Structure 1
């Protein structure tokens, strides 16, 4: 009888399973067997086999559940397997390990039966397979539920953090603009003075914050990218109009190169505008006072390149790629959300382009948007 074989070799089977699990266990996983693991399942399997030899074999379903599964609450095995799935998730195992964890016992039973010339009846194998099927289904279901809950919690925390930063920045800019406007309305200062400059900076900051947030929402929501062909020269001229004011507010010079009027871009104009706006805002923020920020747009082979170069002094070692990570800021000026460059890269990639950064030691850095090259038609 299989139940007698399992009972007599219980310790050996558990030891073999532990050895297999230890080989696959992730770093930091507990060395001892989990509370609802192989030992519980093996005891329930033995109990099921014993009941099936009685005059009421169907009572075994209370232990192991019927073929094809069923509600976890209807069997002892499903309940313990559910708890085991949760344990495996908490200890860093993968969903594949959940399946392997039960498969180890099946393999160990088969190996030991072969080694000892123990003959297992077909019906007993069917019982073993039924128990494995129900246990694995319950464990995997719970594992997935726990994993999804953890992911949802992390996403909620990240969203709340992002909204908190956004609200903080929005409040700061709005309070600054409101205070500056109140002082100007008293009639003691004019719009062209220092207070007017404060108001300008606050309004520009609000516009940038809102534009950046709208671009992030579009990308995160997976909204369809609206590609259309438009003149690169006209596009850069539009960027120059808005960026010139920000350059004045920041106390630096913006230099924009001449753009070949025949060049065109096939992209989502709003997303690309947001990407370049974020790059320029970043450049104005970190470039040294009274220095120059340069915007160049030109063709190279089958590509169109748009460079934004500043004079920030250069990048610290290893910071180049980190700068594109959300909530990362690479200088003493910690104002802002640290999202601009991340949104810029995602906006460019949504337009089939590439955004990269090149360090110019001792001078600054150059951010480059690389897009497919197109030409304006005669009618365009």
Structure 2
């Protein structure tokens, strides 16, 4: 068999290359990879030659032992490991890694039949052993490299997010510290412009921390703490914190009356985070001295919470991108671009839907859609934030 392989080496490599080309991802170089079929073919020939000597077991140094189990050092194992890495780097799938070696087996069988070249049982077993060990080594390395690359991308993404968070945190903290130091000098009061700067910085810090905590809960998959809450009490709590932010942003917050019998069965902290993020977004983009409106009401079997602003309306196509992390559509690019993404995930975790509707030339309205519930006699009041 080794004589047959040697004589037809170029033909076998060409056949394998043609098979690989049919399924190779776009952009993969046409030339054979450095540790691909030709290297394996040479090692197979070497193994077959050694097995015909007085010390046939020495071939295991080239091919490795049969039967799998714990990997053993061999020439085929080393080159197949490098080949698995090459295939992963070029965008192949793990299935294509297996097929890459299977192509050679198929090409050898086809050419042997075409040329009426006999292949002995022992030689065929050797071929299978070499293929088995090569595939095992290549797939193992392919998986390792794939997992390493995934972990590396996740680390880069995490570092990016931590960097954004630290940058925003530092900016707000520096602003608050500077404003406080000026006030402590006694030349300005808390009610003046410097006091307003301090207020804005503290509100920004609070929003940043609340948003980050909600994201941590969502990412970690922590269990939800569902409970039936009065919708009126829920909106009243939001109004308390949002009114301060409205003053800081120099706009007006309008909150509608809520039917006292309506209720929501939700994880309070996540829903507070979602509505809070929508209001922060509205305060950020609504025009100066305009209104931001918070409405909560029932429609059939649903509870709807609307946040309406006067940002001037959305640009074409922007609604689809608003909930993508780190994407910011407006002119004000301060912040992390995470608020709306976290809001949607928080709403969906509570069994609801978050959508946006454009009011051309005026503004937009974000709507949280949740299942409707009603309060019963003796239902617990909404717990107040610590």
Separation in structure 2 between the aligned mates of residue 357 and residue 118 of structure 1, nearest angstrom: 71
User: How far apart, CA to CA, are the structure 2 residues paired with 1:247 and 1:11?
Assistant: 76
The residue that corresponds to 2:62 in the other structure is: 63
Query: Helix, strand or coil: the match of 1:143?
Result: helix
- Is 2:234 aligned against 1:202? no
Residue in structure 1 matched with residue 143 of structure 2 by the alignment: 144
- The correspondence of residues 1-380 of structure 1 with structure 2, limited to 5 A, is 2-69=1-68, 74-380=73-379
User: Match of 1:135, SS?
Assistant: helix
Q: Please report how far the alpha carbon of residue 142 of structure 1 lies from its aligned counterpart in structure 2 after TM superposition.
A: 0.9
CA distance in 1, matches of 2:75, 2:118: 28
CA distance in 2, matches of 1:174, 1:301: 46
Q: CA deviation at 1:112?
A: 2.0
Cα-Cα RMSD: 1.6
Gaps of at least 5 residues in structure 1 are none
> What TM-score do the two structures reach when normalised by structure 1?
0.95
Q: For the residues of structure 2 that align with 1:304 and 1:245, how far apart are their CA atoms? A: 26
Stretch deviating more after TM superposition (203-212 or 104-113): 104-113
CA distance in 1, matches of 2:304, 2:114: 69
Consecutive unaligned residues in structure 2, runs of 5 or more: 380-386
Aligned mates of 1:275, 1:60 — CA distance in 2: 66
Structure 1 residue 173: Cα displacement: 1.0
Secondary structure of the structure 2 residue equivalent to 1:324: coil
The answer to whether the 8 A contact 2:65-2:72 is kept is no
Preserved contact between residue 73 and residue 79 of structure 1 (Cα < 8 Å): no
TM-score normalised according to structure 2 size: 0.94
Q: Where in structure 1 do 4 or more consecutive aligned residues deviate above 4 Å?
A: 70-73
Q: Deviations over 1:160-185 (max 9, x none)?
A: 22111111111111111122222222
Shift of 1:249: 0.8
Question: SS in structure 1 opposite 2:65?
Answer: coil
After TM superposition, give the deviation of residue 213 of structure 1 in Å.
0.8
Deviation digits for residues 166-221 of structure 1 (CA, Å, limit 9, x no counterpart): 11111111111122222222222222221111111111111001101111111112
For residues 65-112 of structure 1, give each alpha carbon's deviation from its aligned partner in whole angstroms, at most 9, with x where no partner exists. Answer: 111336656100000000001111111112221111111111222222
Deviations, residues 124-147 of structure 1 (Å, cap 9, x unaligned): 222222111111111111111111
